[in-house]
Structure 1
Amino acid sequence: MDGMPEHEQDDHEREFDLRWADDAEHKEPSARARMLAARWKENPPEPQPFRADPDHVASRGRSSWVSTTVILGSVAAVIVLLGYINFRAPY
């Protein structure tokens, strides 16, 4: 070889290969991208809305109010309980 230990030469060649691949003008798409392109060419996907449909949002909105009420009720109960304990504690 050219005086370099074998593992250093392998590292140098690997670094050269990585730089060469990164600088390539044309990059081949991944296997998944090729698979989806082939599938969509035969059977294109249906357009999807950007936002969720209003029915789904409305049902989720009600449950968020229920959770908020439960949390605020729990916090109020803890405050009342701590106040009661503090009121009954001898000084």
Structure 2
Amino acid sequence: MSGQDDGERDFDLKWADDAEHKEPSARARMLAARWKENPPDPAPFRAAPERAAPRRSPWVSTVIVLGCIAAVILLLGWLEMRSVH
């Protein structure tokens, strides 16, 4: 295409884009040949998610965090009280 000017090149691209029959890509041809001999198992578009363990209430996490904070405060207070005596 080095000898073609822009007008001829644009015409060739338009002609190729407007073609009625377009050849499939190499990957599409490879998969079609492979699937002709060994078709893939049917699969839903989106598989159902696997069952997960039931989630805890958000309040459980809040109680655990606040309990840990209270335990640290009590431990620090107990250590402070022991060091005073």
- TM-score (normalised: structure 2): 0.54
| Matches for 1:66-81 after TM superposition, within 5 Å | 69=58, 73=62
Alignment partner for residue 29 of structure 2, among 26, 34, 39?
Answer: 34
| Matches for 1:2-21 after TM superposition, within 5 Å | 10-21=5-16
Instruction: Name the counterpart of 2:38.
Output: 43
| Structure 2: tracts of 5 or more residues without a match | 67-85
Give the SS at the match of 2:5: helix
Q: Which has the higher contact order (CA 8 A, sep 6+)?
A: 2
Instruction: Name the counterpart of 1:23.
Output: 18
User: Going by fraction, where is helix more abundant, 1 or 2?
Assistant: 1
Instruction: Name the counterpart of 2:75.
Output: none
The alignment of Structure 1 onto Structure 2 pairs a total of residues equal to: 62
Give the Cα separation in 2 of the matches to 1:37 and 1:29.
10
Over the aligned positions, Cα root-mean-square deviation in angstroms equals 3.3
Instruction: Report sequence identity in percent.
Output: 66
User: Which protein is bigger by CA-based radius of gyration?
Assistant: 2
- TM-score (normalised: structure 1): 0.51
